[in-house]
Structure 1
Amino acid sequence: MTAAHGRTGRPPLTEERKAAIRLEIARAAVELFIAQGVGATTGEQIGQAVGVSSRTVWRYFPTKESCVRPLLSTGIDTIATALRRWPPGQPLDEAFDGLWTADAALPGADVGALVRLTRTEPGLRAVWLQTHDEAEPAFARALAERGGLPDDDVRPAIWAAMLNAALRAAVEQHACRTGPGAERARADLMATLRTALAAAAAGIS
């Protein structure tokens, strides 16, 4: 009788571990991009910084520029949830109060440096804009659910576009400033985001 052969080797990675690896690769890529430029950075260098092979890097990301996406997309789901729970009559910036203390919802120092790089690196700029483009439908669905609106109502899509543009403008403006310190920089970002949210909320019912 032939014995059944079970699976050998390493167990499959959990989704949480895969997400953690993606984030590690993203942070390593940003550090290398800042230190030596995008053009001089290779997939092999990014992998070495994380302790994985370049093959692993390309398994998770199609290009070296796309390695930064986990950092840029941080907080999209959190923002959509806040929009979904936004009570009628409450100022929009107050609906985001719980996010100001959540690191996952606010860009960190590495993201600020990355956003500055998108000004001069077309490949990174494309990833940055694509990330916002993909965030817009998530915001629209949340706003439609909040208002109990049908799928064919165009207003949530318009509101989402306004909100998305306001958030992007706020982060870009903040990133291009020279902050005196981490704490003050964070406070400045929160103030800029509040101003952007108030401006966007003026057109959202």
Structure 2
Amino acid sequence: MRLVYRWAYSAIRRLDLSQRPLSSGICYNGLALLLILPLLLTGCASSEKLGYNSPSPLQLTDPLEPVNRMVFGFNDGLDRFLIRPVTVVYAHAVPSAVRLSVRNFFSNLQLPATIANDVLQGRFAQGRLDFERLLINSTLGVAGLFDVAGAVGRPPHEEDYGQTLARWRLPSGPYLVLPLLGASNVRDAVALVPAFIYPDPVS
């Protein structure tokens, strides 16, 4: 800032101001301040636009950071040495059509929980569509192995208890890393309790 002020002051000194009584240093200082004032205002406005004044330090804190780091390290090691190798072998050894049927089967098993959350959220029309999808795929789709409902206008749709709590306007709470499941928050972790009572085979 001092360098900018000196530049403005020297620039004014070089101007031809012989027609005006600006011989005093006070006048030069005043003009220098007037010259750099727009720069200062522009800099402040740019900082606000870029969000330099937010978020606050409280928003950046992670109260569960030690636990999150430990669980993240566990998940990373498990993914690197077990889950990823098994996934690669599965993708290469099992034909894509079989993998699709397996995915459809487990997606069909998830539908009762989705329907329950549709009702809890007051989305009864969506709940009816999901129930029809469950009925069609469980029968015509051979226990969900084939997505017949998707071909007749009943596309896949998922809801979980965490989304229901969010619709009920419960705050998400601090960031939380869950074993095996990964990044989450306290609200979604609490929502896993009914999921354990009624297991979700997909997640």
TM-score w.r.t. the length of structure 1 is 0.26
Larger Rg: 2
